[in-house]
């Protein structure tokens, strides 16, 4: 009976405390608030729905760590634009919260935006040795940006930022010193694959740390972000060493010069080309500024090693028989100013191509570059060179994991939530479907867009909103000062040309004193269209005189009359819409 009395008293105390004790209620509220505040946010500012400008915000409470800061090369419609970088408005609004930038590897689409980013932020950059060397070379060319504080990392390092821990995991990609990231937070762990493939015979012998990745499942992975570039390709991506064997075969049987075009950042590819040249006692010349820079950087830090005398200057290659010369160069993407493109057009100062030369394009066209690449190949063939560019030749392999490799990593990690990254939208969608096939719940797969705020607590995950995210256009020294209106004008100029109309007015007498004179560029050749231009001048003069007689004196209105009337006139006569710039001179 005594036990029952105690039980009743205990229940009464709890009920009284629940409804009448403010201290008890406030304590519960505080606990609930604290629980709600414990959240991890993952915000991609670039790299989703596109190939390039990779940038990921990792935020826990008031600490932000940025993973990568890349650029994207402009598409054809971005006339005159040099590069495209992510919109960093969110970072600017949270400037005091940004603690560091962690770089996964040294490709332009992961580091290219740093010179622009570091104009506004003073935080350390954590990266592997090669990535730091490449980034430093970029900053050495700038005069208005001080070199940031670099912290070199190695695999298995653990970086602490507030309550977040970033573990560096050895990776394999098409560039040395590529890493994945395992991020520990109080609400759950995040695994970011970075750009990767499962290369079992990497050129430098540094295998992906598959053992550590397999252990992550035991520690629990709440969220996994994974490279989606090759999700549409079945099977496994071939090893980089396949390319070395192909180079060996071509150099072994060569009877003329061998020219190899590849990405400057593909140090493994350059190493294999040089190694094959050394094996067959050939001299190597480097063509292209970026290729020269990367070769020098890689040699300085010990990533390229070859006997003294192997490299020769381009100016000296004529001193050797053609069959003893190998030229490694830029231009695999048909870039107009790259070494290969200039050789194809016959514009290169030192190299003139012709029959007997073999050009190996050791790359596949980036989406959007196909037209430029195949135009370059056509020009090379016209010069009489033998061009090797087919995938079947074995002179190129991708640096990204194919479908079966992506399956393997997903099965090893078994994440609760999955976010496909680094790919165009169809790639992200296919990768998301693959994760569902392997057991990730449909509602836990986030096929996101740039700017999406993916928020995670211990018990949930959701898309919680969106922050500003887009593209910032870089044109010369201008960053973000080129917008849609300027691009529209450039497009119009490129398609229909420009007309400048000059009229001299006596404003007091309301009389045209001289003109209209019409100057045409990119529209019609004036001498061959004298009748058309004469008719246009008469038409504009009549419209102006009529407007002046009606009392129109405002220059802005008169310019609009010239622009609109002449625009209609030329469209009726030519079905073209040139840009029209009226200039009114008062006397």
Q: Mind telling me the catalytic residues?
A: 227, 400
Beta bridge partners of 151: 126
Beta bridge partners of 514: 504
Q: How far apart are CA 45 and CA 470, in angstroms?
A: 7
Helices 210-219 and 403-413: crossing angle in degrees, nearest 10, is: 40
Three-state secondary-structure class, residue 355: coil
Three-state secondary-structure class, residue 241: helix
What is the signed CA dihedral for 106, 110, 114, 115, rounded to 10 degrees? 70
Q: Are 361 and 373 a contacting pair, CB within 8 Å?
A: yes
Q: Are 514 and 490 a contacting pair, CB within 8 Å?
A: no
Q: Are 268 and 203 a contacting pair, CB within 8 Å?
A: yes
3-state helix, strand, coil split of the chain in percent (to 5) is: 40, 25, 40
Q: Which of 536, 566, 561 is nearest to 549 (CA)?
A: 561
Q: How far apart are CA 500 and CA 520, in angstroms?
A: 7
Could you tell me the two tokens for 510?
A: 């309301």
Residue 433 burial (10 A CB sphere; 0-12, 13-18, 19+)? middle
Helices (H), 253-392: 267-279, 289-300, 339-344, 370-382
């Amino acid at each position: 009976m005594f036990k029952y009395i105690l039980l009743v008293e205990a229940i009464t105390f709890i009920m009284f405390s629940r409804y009448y004790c403010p201290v008890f209620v406030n304590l519960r509220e505080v606990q609930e608030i604290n629980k709600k505040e414990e959240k991890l946010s993952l915000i991609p500012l670039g790299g989703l729905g596109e190939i390039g400008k990779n940038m990921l915000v990792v935020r826990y409470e008031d600490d932000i760590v940025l993973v990568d800061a890349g650029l994207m090369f402009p598409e054809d419609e971005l006339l005159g634009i040099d590069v495209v970088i992510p919109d960093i408005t969110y970072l600017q609004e949270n400037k005091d919260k940004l603690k560091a930038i962690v770089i996964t590897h040294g490709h332009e689409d992961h580091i290219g935006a740093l010179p622009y980013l570091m104009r506004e932020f003073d935080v350390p950059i954590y990266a592997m040795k090669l990535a730091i060397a490449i980034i430093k070379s970029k900053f050495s060319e700038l005069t208005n940006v001080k070199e940031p504080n670099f912290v070199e990392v190695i695999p298995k390092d653990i970086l602490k930022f507030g309550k977040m821990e970033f573990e560096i995991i050895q990776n394999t990609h098409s560039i040395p010193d590529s890493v994945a990231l395992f991020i520990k937070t109080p609400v759950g762990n995040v695994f970011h694959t970075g750009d990767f493939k499962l290369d079992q015979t990497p050129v430098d012998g540094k295998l992906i740390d598959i053992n550590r990745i397999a252990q992550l499942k035991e520690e629990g992975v709440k969220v996994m972000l994974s490279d989606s570039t090759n999700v549409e390709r079945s099977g496994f991506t071939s090893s980089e060493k396949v390319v070395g064997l192909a180079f060996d075969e071509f150099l072994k049987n060569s009877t003329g010069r061998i020219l190899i075009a590849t990405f400057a950042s593909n140090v493994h590819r350059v190493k294999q080309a040089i190694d094959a040249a050394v094996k067959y006692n050939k001299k190597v010349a480097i063509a292209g500024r970026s290729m020269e820079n990367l070769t020098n950087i890689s040699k300085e830090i010990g990533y390229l090693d070859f006997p003294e005398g192997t490299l020769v200057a381009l100016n000296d290659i004529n001193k050797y028989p053609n069959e003893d010369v190998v030229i490694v160069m830029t231009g695999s993407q048909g870039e107009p100013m790259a070494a290969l493109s200039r050789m194809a057009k016959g514009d290169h100062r030192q190299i003139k191509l012709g029959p007997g030369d073999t050009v190996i394009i050791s790359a596949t066209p980036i989406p959007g570059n196909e037209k430029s690449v195949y135009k370059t190949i056509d020009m090379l063939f016209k010069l009489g060179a033998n061009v090797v560019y087919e995938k079947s030749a074995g002179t190129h392999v991708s640096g990204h994991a194919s479908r079966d490799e992506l399956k393997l990593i997903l099965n090893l990690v078994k994440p609760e939530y999955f976010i496909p990254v680094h790919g165009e939208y169809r790639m992200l969608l296919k990768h998301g479907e693959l994760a569902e096939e392997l057991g990730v719940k449909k509602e836990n797969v986030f096929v996101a867009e740039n700017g999406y705020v993916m928020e995670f607590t211990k018990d949930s995950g959701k898309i919680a909103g969106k922050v500003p995210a887009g593209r910032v256009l870089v044109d010369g020294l201008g960053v973000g000062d080129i917008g849609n209106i300027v691009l529209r004008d450039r497009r119009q100029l490129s398609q229909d040309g420009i007309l400048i109309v000059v009229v001299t007015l006596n404003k007091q007498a309301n009389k045209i004193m001289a003109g209209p004179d019409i100057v045409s560029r990119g529209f019609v050749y004036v001498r061959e269209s004298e009748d058309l231009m004469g008719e246009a001048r008469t038409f504009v003069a009549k419209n102006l005189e009529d407007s002046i007689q009606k009392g129109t004196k405002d220059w802005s209105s008169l310019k609009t009359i010239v622009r609109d009337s002449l625009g209609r006139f030329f469209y009726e006569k030519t079905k073209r819409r040139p840009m029209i710039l009226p200039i009114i001179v008062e006397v």
